[in-house]
Each structure stands twice: as structure tokens, then as C-alpha cells.
Amino acid sequence: MKASHLAVLFSIAGVLALPPRAEADEVPVAVAANFTAPMQQIAAAFEKDTGHKLQPSFGATGKFYAQIKAGAPFEILLAADDETPAKLVGEGAAVAGSEFTYAIGKLVLWSAQPAVVDAGGEVLRKGGFEHLALANPKLAPYGAAAAEAMKALGVFEALQPKLVVGENIAQTYQYVATGNALLGFVALSQVSKNGRIEGSAWVVPQAYYRPIRQDAVILGKGKDKPGAAALMHYLRGDKAKAIIQSYGYGL
């Protein structure tokens, strides 16, 4: 047999001897609406680096909780709080010990127009606007934080007639971005990229609301799934952390 034929045979044998590559998973992930932009960026990097593909759905944490309890096929929840993942673990719907804080959110009072929101948030007392948007406090942790902040400032009752409530923080952002509300409480991550904010904004001091600790957790349907485990590991990595911080989140 010619040497060239032997080389081909040895090459084929070597390929056959390699361990089979693990199949890539498609991972359905429920993601808090405030984390939409960073998650889209993380998903692209994750797929490139691991071969696994994410199927993210974005919405209100409270709504996802109801869907998960009703049997939705999500394998991971990236919540806008730490209470919902803990509750799911306690109810046996998520994997105990898998939860961790992937980001700490920041609340901001924002207007798409310049010179509307002042550096101290005094616009809330002075008025001069018809509508103030916030996410539903019963469904969205950022909405609950907005209500806490207004109560701490002593303006909650006076502003009730002006409030426009979005189902989640993404819808709330749209109200303000389109001008349907002159200003509103949104997530800093929605309006900040690399420290720059268009329009006008006041980053609400942490003293006015409870810290928004955003936890991730593996759900029952994601237990022992390689793709789900890979995503949880990836979120702890330097590349994902850099993306998260670039949108104004704390770690």
C-alpha cells in the first residue's frame, strides 16, 4: 500500500478515535425586561464561545413567575429581584443552591428630552408634566422601587393622577422614549451605555429604595441540562461581567 494511502487511513482512524463533541443545547431563558440589551449581547457571545444557543424571552418577573408555575418550558430565570428565585426554590420549582446575583440594578428618573429632569429630582415636586411612567409595582421590581422612592420623597400621593403604568420596564421605557410620558422611572441599563445618557436623568440614590439584587436560578426543567449549566457559568465569567457593567449595573 502506498504511503499516501496509509496516511489517509491513519488520519481517518485518528478522527474516529476522538471523543464525540457534546451536542449544543437550545436554552429557553426567561429574562427580566430591564436586562434586554445586555442579554442580547451576552447571548451572541455565549453562542460563539460555547456553541449553545439561547432562546430568551423578555418580560416582567412577576409574569414569568406565574408562567413558570403553570409549566412554561423555561430552563433558567434571570429575575429583576432576588425574592422570586428564592420563592421558586422554596416551592420546588427551581434548583436549590443554583441561584446567585448576576447584577445589581439601579433606578433612574429619565426623560428623552434634555433639561427636563434635574440633578436632584426636584421636577417631581415642581410638576410641569402631565404623565409620569413607571412599571407595574405588583409585577416589576423596578416599579416597586419607583413607588418606594416616591414615598420616601413624600410625593407618591400627589403624583397619583399623573402615573402611567407599564406592564414591565420595557413598556415603561417606550412610554417615555416616544413622548407619551414626559418622564418616568426606568432602569439605568436602558438609558446608559458606557456611562453616557441621552436626554436628562437623575440616578435615584440607593437610600430611597431597597437594593435591586437581580438573581439567576436554574429552573426544574433546566436541571442537569448542559446548556443551562453553561449559561450560569458564563454569567459569572469576565466577558459577561464586562458587558453587564457597561450598562450601568453593579456586580
Q: Per CATH, the architecture of 23-104+212-246 is what?
A: 3-Layer(aba) Sandwich (3.40)
Digit-coded pLDDT (tens) for 175-184: 999 999 999 9
Whether 100 has a pLDDT exceeding 80, the answer reads: yes
Q: Give the three cell numbers for residue 216.
A: 439567576
Task: Determine the Cα–Cα distance for residues 141 and 106; give it in Å rounded to an integer.
Answer: 11
Q: Which residues contact 8 (CB under 8 A, 6 or more apart)?
A: none
* CATH topology (fold) of 105-208: D-Maltodextrin-Binding Protein; domain 2 (3.40.190)
Percent of the chain predicted with pLDDT > 90:
86
Does residue 4 have a pLDDT over 50?
Answer: no
On the question of pLDDT at 22 being above 90, the answer is no
pTM, to two decimals:
0.81
Mean pLDDT for the chain overall: 91
Grid cell, residue 171, equals 413598556
Q: Quick: pLDDT tens for 103-139.
A: 999 999 999 999 999 999 999 999 999 999 999 999 8
Lowest mean pLDDT among 98-107, 125-134, 194-203: 194-203
Q: What is the pLDDT of residue 25?
A: 86
Asked if residue 1 has pLDDT above 90, the reply is no
Three-class DSSP category at 75: coil
| Residue 98 vs residue 3, higher pLDDT | 98
In the chain, CATH 3.40.190.10 sits at 23-104+212-246, 105-208
CA distances from 195 to 40, 68, 202, 245, 248 (A): 19, 35, 13, 10, 7
The pLDDT of 169-188, averaged and rounded, is 96
pLDDT bracket for residue 21 (50, 70, 90): very low
- C-beta of residue 53 within 8 angstroms of C-beta of residue 26: yes
Torsion of Cα atoms, 33 then 164 then 186 then 143, to 10°:
-70
